[in-house]
Structure 1
């Protein structure tokens, strides 16, 4: 009998421990009155499938907009930490925004790993994860998707091709928009795209499917985009073609070209264009 009581007591202790552990592991509701940084949140199995989330104090699901940033780096380099340089500029012209910066799998030139559309697929997965978290984070479903260079390409591609009425405004800085044209007008880009996508002749359809221009319709989201006129990395013609096709489809747009500027701008230029971008966003997301 004594042995039986000892076993029973031990079982009770185990149950208490398990119950306590479950309580500790349970998600604690986030206090919307407090600003939070949630770093390296996972949205998939790969180490690259991570995001940083910056939630403002006193946020609400009715009012707080969400801006999602996709970093550049020619699809082979870069990191979500890029946004930390842009964040103070955004915050100086915007109020009551939550910011999210995402990583995605990079194409590995040496190992020929993560060929396109791995990057496109990762953006889709990240957006799906974000969409599922809006209520938990106490933010609205008013969403701006933005990025620079390769990140601008991925933002445009998702917004025009893969989005399901989630993104409200797209913002792109010096973005590739037509990968066939890019491969033919930039020698380095041609070599990179040949490795990342394949031979332009045998994989022409994949180039077409990976180019934002080919998915613009008269229902496409309002788009703001910016380009330097002497950009030698992504020629300004990429944005000029984007402007033309958006115009043909009567899509609301804000486009600015910067004479004498290359692939990247000064903080002063960024600040000015972000002010104009915020005005454009407010026209569509009051």
Structure 2
């Protein structure tokens, strides 16, 4: 049955969808946990949706995800159900606020699910089927960079690296970028500060990291903004309401809107059309080698 389903999906992909523009792929990562990565991924996704973009947010912190918690919704199915119980991919796509679609990571499992090659290939197969239905695919990754996810992340066009002022966060972010660079990732790195006192502190932290990445890895990276240490963010988490909806006029919401504009930029998107082939071609290799 699974083979028939995969065959039908590939047939669908080979059809009318190749005539449509592919989604832009963005991964949100951090070198360590607890830096607010999921909150940023969620609020960025909602802000893009508010700009009338079709967004699918993936919580890929499988077994330990919290996107559904942050939106105050109990997902009927999660990506854990997809892998463990063979729930069809389209059934794990949930409705979020402001027209956002999302896939919950699942929580409360006895152990995290490893994304080995077979599982990554299966996931990419189904992702490709929906690749032309959305403007953005946003992947909220688990903390750190596992060996299993290097190939996946190397296919993504844009990677947002979330960094806090703590030295451990900065070093772990550098390590994550180093692993991806060594493994020939052609993604664009975007550095985003979180829990910063102000813009001055954010620039100091991010520029130091940017300089190290360029000097030792010969890799460019962009500074795209920061989020402050704002009480509205912690309040929003407690109330399970995304902060851009709880208080759209807050400083945090205004800052996430500035970051959103980077990915709505005409020039950026035009340049990404040429680079779309990186993610798409790697998906094709997975699909058509079977």
Instruction: Answer yes or no: same fold by TM over 0.5.
Output: no
Structure with the greater alpha carbon radius of gyration: 1
Normalized against structure 1, the TM-score is what?
0.45
Normalized against structure 2, the TM-score is what?
0.44
Bigger relative contact order, structure 1 or 2 (CA pairs below 8 A, ≥6 apart): 2
Structure with the higher fraction of residues in helix conformation: 2
